[in-house]
């Protein structure tokens, strides 16, 4: 096991014991840092970008992906996801309603002393 991984594992163990608000703040800061390092999306998603992304995924599976190609793959994946979110939003209103109904059912069962499944 590498020293970097060992240090990473130690930090992860420490962070697990932090209050959830601090962990959320850390996650937001890490996301901002990563977003700042990745190049901005340059245009619409297209077949050429998709083909390049597939090539890089194949190289990754084969274990032949360089660090620069890894960054390129991450950038292309981010661009693809951003494009997908823009053109095909996932409808979550129904799932949100169902979640609220289930939480309400659980609350009612706990109030009446019933068991939750």
Interatomic CA distance for residues 101 and 93, integer angstroms: 12
Percentage of the chain modeled with pLDDT above 70: 82
Residue 50's pLDDT is what?
96
Q: With cut-offs at 50, 70 and 90, classify the pLDDT of residue 77.
A: very high
For the cut 90, the answer to whether the pLDDT of residue 85 exceeds it is no
Which of these, 69, 76, 74, lies nearest to 42 by C-alpha position?
76
What pTM value is reported for the model? 0.46
Average pLDDT estimate for 73-98 = 88
Residue 49's pLDDT is what?
97
Where is pLDDT greater, at 31 or 81?
Answer: 81
Q: pLDDT tens digits, residue range 17-70?
A: 888 888 787 777 777 666 655 555 556 899 999 999 999 999 999 999 999 999
Per-position b or e across 40-78, b if 16+ CB within 10 A of its CB: eeeeebeeebeeebeebeeeeeeeebeeeeeebbebbeb
């Amino acid at each position: 096991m590498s020293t970097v991984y060992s240090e990473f594992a130690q930090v992860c163990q420490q962070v697990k014991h932090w209050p959830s608000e601090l962990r959320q703040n850390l996650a937001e800061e890490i996301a901002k840092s990563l977003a700042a390092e990745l190049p901005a999306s340059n245009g619409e998603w297209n077949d050429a970008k998709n083909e390049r992304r597939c090539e890089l995924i194949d190289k990754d599976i084969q274990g032949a992906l360089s660090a620069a190609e890894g960054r390129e793959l991450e950038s292309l994946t981010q661009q693809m996801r951003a494009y997908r979110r823009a053109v095909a939003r996932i409808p979550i209103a129904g799932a949100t309603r169902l979640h609220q109904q289930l939480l309400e059912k659980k609350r009612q069962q706990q109030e009446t002393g019933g068991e939750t499944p």
